[in-house]
Amino acid sequence: MPVRLIFSIFFFFVLFIEQSNAFTFKLTGYPEGKQLDLVLERYQSDAFLAVDTFRINSDTTLKIKEIFPRGLFSFKWANKGNPAEFIYSPKELNLAIEADYWTLLDGQLSITNSSENTAYSELLAIHARYAPRIEDAEMKMGILTPFLASYKEQLTQAEEVVEKLMQAEGEELQQVKVLYPGTFVGDILVPITAKPTRAQLADGKQKFDSYRSFLHQHFFINYPLNSGEILNHYAFQENIFFYLSNNTETSEDGAREGIDIIMMSLKTNEKVNSFVYNTLLSTFLKLNAEPLVKHLMENHSSGCSINLSIEDLKKLDALKTLSVGSKAPDILLYDDSEKAQSLSAFSAKNRYTVIYFWLSWCASCEKQSPILVQEYKKYNKKGLGVFAVSLDEDKQEWLSKIQPSDKGWINVSELVSVPQSSYVKKYAISTTPKTIIIDKEGTIIAKEVYGDLLIAKLTELFKD
């Protein structure tokens, strides 16, 4: 090939790269005298992240030159109005976006030369048509009473209505994928939005006589879980929580099984696996769902990096510290007679000690305290001690609630506000009352046991 021709091709290529744009954004109708920041955001993992900010003071056309991964993006005024969402793909070199000041405030854009956004509009329109009908059918199914003789028959019929609607929506969504092949919408969002049905399996109807049981096991079978692009739209995260709320039993065991099904579906992509692991871990920490945190960490960590906020990391550390089998942090405070008391020294004198955190104005504490008094009287001579920690900051309010029957056990308080309490942080207390049972060595053997559960646990411990 002649040198001149090689140089010409190279020059054209460089010129094309320098002059090409990822897309353009045209803004009109901008009010005179205003100056605002316009933010371009990209959705990644679990939030919109700002990728660029433009200072705007008049009508303008922005030429966005950076090439981004395909996924969900938005324009929005900083701290004002709604985000205006759109799908970006680097394949669409002629993508053009327009808006005026007021429509952008309402989260509206005008988009041309974009198969992605045409497909996205169609997907949203299909889902908007079916969602109310599916929701109505599921509500009718939910109000069926199991006491009717025809309950099973009615439930089966109601489930068939839901499944037929799901199937019809899925077929329309698949047409979007056919019409717009190779798009982010077709590759990622259609599989996420279209719920699976038993018709997808050759023996689906025979193997699952209930559509709910099928969804419980196969909710994620259409998901492109091997692609990190699944994290570029919030539909994925929303559907994870939809699954746990609607397609698992409402119990700890049901939640554990749902977690197992989700995590076992994610083994093909470390990035997606790590994101879901951290999302679930953070959520369960916020809910103080210690059994689910423990189940997730013991069964599904598989080398996932923990990417949590400082607050969540502190909670996680506290939960680890306070797990059954761990040593309870020592407590050293003054009692109601202004005498220093140590939890470790006190527990060493008893077979078992109940650590009891409470507040003078807590209604739940007023219900729990008499039960604890009753059990203390029953087992005190057999070696039960109670170390009651008031979280009151007013000394008189604390002392006024100590009953004569409580005098046999230890009553202590920091007499500081709850946010200032060092023991609230050490014991990860978010509600009162809180009970923890420890043995002579200070090892935690039970926690969060109240009412009948407390009675049963103490009966078991002192059965000899």
Query: Is residue 6 included in any domain, yes or no?
Result: no
* Contact of 198 with 204, CB cutoff 8 Å: yes
* Average pLDDT of the residues in 379-385: 93
Query: Is residue 7 included in any domain, yes or no?
Result: no
Only one residue has tokens 């008189």, namely 396
Q: Is a pLDDT exceeding 80 seen at residue 314?
A: no
Query: Is residue 13 included in any domain, yes or no?
Result: no
Q: Is a pLDDT exceeding 90 seen at residue 386?
A: yes
Only one residue has tokens 């080398």, namely 303
Q: Is a pLDDT exceeding 80 seen at residue 254?
A: yes
Query: Is residue 94 included in any domain, yes or no?
Result: yes
133-163 residue pLDDT tens: 999 988 888 787 777 778 888 888 888 999 9
Q: Is a pLDDT exceeding 90 seen at residue 418?
A: no
Residues 53 and 196 in one domain: no
> What is the span of the domain harbouring residue 149?
116-321
Residues 46 and 70 in one domain: yes
Instruction: Report residue 225 as tokens.
Output: 């879980």
Handedness of CA 334, 340, 344, 350 (dihedral sign): negative
Q: Is a pLDDT exceeding 80 seen at residue 188?
A: yes
Q: Rounded to whole angstroms, how far apart are CA atoms 374 and 353?
A: 15
Out of 113, 128, 155, a domain closes at 113
Q: Could you tell me which of 199, 192, 198 has the C-alpha nearest to residue 174?
A: 192
Cβ neighbours, 10 Å, residue 281: 22
Q: Which residue has the higher pLDDT, 202 or 104?
A: 104
199-228 residue pLDDT tens: 888 888 889 888 888 999 999 999 999 899
pLDDT in the model for residue 10: 43
Alpha-carbon separation of residue 267 from 67, 109, 219, 270, 277 (angstroms): 30, 38, 16, 7, 11
For the entire predicted model, the pTM comes to: 0.70
Q: Are strands 47-56 and 434-439 parallel, antiparallel or unpaired?
A: unpaired
Residues 215 and 288 in one domain: yes
Residues 85 and 122 in one domain: no
Residues 231 and 94 in one domain: no
The type of residue at 320 is K
- As to burial, measured by CB atoms within 10 angstroms (0-12 exposed, 13-18 middle, 19+ buried), residue 372 is buried
Q: Rounded to whole angstroms, how far apart are CA atoms 188 and 228?
A: 10
Return the H-helix or E-strand segment holding 370.
Answer: helix 363-379
Query: Is residue 14 included in any domain, yes or no?
Result: no
pLDDT in the model for residue 7: 45
Instruction: Report residue 360 as tokens.
Output: 């003078």
Q: Could you tell me which of 91, 93, 97 has the C-alpha nearest to residue 20?
A: 93
Q: Rounded to whole angstroms, how far apart are CA atoms 110 and 29?
A: 14
Out of 288, 321, 354, a domain closes at 321
Residues 107 and 66 in one domain: yes
Residues 296 and 180 in one domain: yes
Query: Is residue 273 included in any domain, yes or no?
Result: yes
